[in-house]
Amino acid sequence: MSERLIAADRATIAAAIRGTTFVTETADALVPHRLPEWTRAQAADPFVHRFADQSTGVFLDIETAADVVVLDVRIDRFLSHLHTPDDRRAIFATSIEGQEIDRAVLTDGTVTTHRPDGTLTSTGGGILRVRLRTGAASEGSRIRIWMPHAAAVELVGVAATAELRAAEPDGRTRWIHHGSSISHCFEADGPLGTWPTIASLGLGWDLTNLGFSGQAMLDPFVARTIRDLPADVITLKIGINIASADTMRERTFVPAVHGFLDTIRDGHPETPIVLISPIHSTLNEAHDAPRQAAAGALDLPLVRRLLERAVSGRADARLHYLDGRALLGPEDAERLHDGLHPDPQGYRLIGERFAAIARRAPWPGS
């Protein structure tokens, strides 16, 4: 006998989406994004929104007595030509009070592959059904249904074995974090395994994760996005993409950092901001040979010095500097599976260490 499912209306689904405030409504779906639509016209690299459309940190916050929730979704997984179809799986999960109850792992749907010549090809598609146990114990149990951290998602429908209601906001500390692939966390073992999510669950903070793989480039439209979002604490993990892609020199990097901070301060004059330098990277601590002679070329030691100097040089008591090596240092190099990106245990270390630092630090509320 099939389960009797009660469909949630679109307004309920939209009200339950957390982890982003940017949701597009199409003819048959709700599509969460992590950057607003107007930023698309200002991004020179299409991969900015390719990764911003992926739903790391995004979840449905619901109250229900249902023991099963069913999602009808479209997904789009982005792979390089070096990946196999089983890489970067789309993992949906349910949790109660930060503890994962169930997960569903998808390797079908749309797969978009980045070819060596720079072209993109897409295969597959269609609407997929995801069935998740909730662990709900009683009417009004608060459940989180996590979207995959390594895929873009369109929510076509949500139904359950009991009525679903969007949970009311609970007044937690609102945390905006911006960073690179090391904040996007493709290599995490699931949506609850990214380091910002681990930290937010440990701290009880309400996270919006603006970590975009390869795209933490001090883009002005990202600063304006952060400026316009509500926040009680803001963290910016800057430097690794700029140094590794050689997109700036010291001459341009320093004023770009200050301009990024100035824009955010326009909307958050009193909000604590933490500027986080890169974690240890065995690939990027020093210049490669062709760049060695370039005046002002950035390596990670120089980036860290410049970021610390930028913070100390501003008359801003609510601006703080955190050396990223306190989160993952050279003694943790074995946790970098490719010399750059942490493995799942490395992300857990970063999340737990950040939470421990935040509990002792003068932010938020500094």
pLDDT digits 0-9 by tens, 305-321: 999 999 999 999 999 99
Asked if residue 187 lies in contact with residue 341, where contact means CB atoms within 8 angstroms, the answer is: yes
Structure tokens at 232: 């009680």
Residue 37 burial class via C-beta count within 10 angstroms: exposed 0-12, middle 13-18, buried 19 and up: exposed
| Gap between the Cα atoms of 287 and 295, Å rounded | 12
In CATH, the number for domain 174-360 is: 3.40.50.1110
Residues 6-166: name the CATH superfamily.
Answer: Galactose-binding domain-like (2.60.120.260)
> Percentage of residues in the chain with pLDDT exceeding 70?
96
List pLDDT tens digits, range 83-120. 776 777 899 999 999 999 999 999 888 888 887 777 77
Among 20-24, 235-239, 345-349, name the one with the lowest average pLDDT: 20-24
- Residue spans per domain, the chain: 6-166, 174-360
What mean pLDDT comes out for the span 258-277? 98
In the prediction, which pLDDT does 289 show? 52
Report yes or no on whether pTM surpasses 0.85.
yes
Q: Calculate the average pLDDT of the chain.
A: 92
Measured between alpha carbons, how far is 244 from 236 in angstroms, rounded to an integer?
A: 17
Question: For tokens 């709700």, what's the residue?
Answer: 30
As a whole number of angstroms, the distance between CA 156 and CA 14 comes to 11
Q: Structure tokens of 294?
A: 């370039």
- CA pair distance 301, 240, nearest whole angstrom: 11
Note whether 57 and 197 are within 8 A (CB).
yes
Provide the residue type at 88 as one letter: R
Nearest to 236 by CA among 203, 263, 198, 202: 263
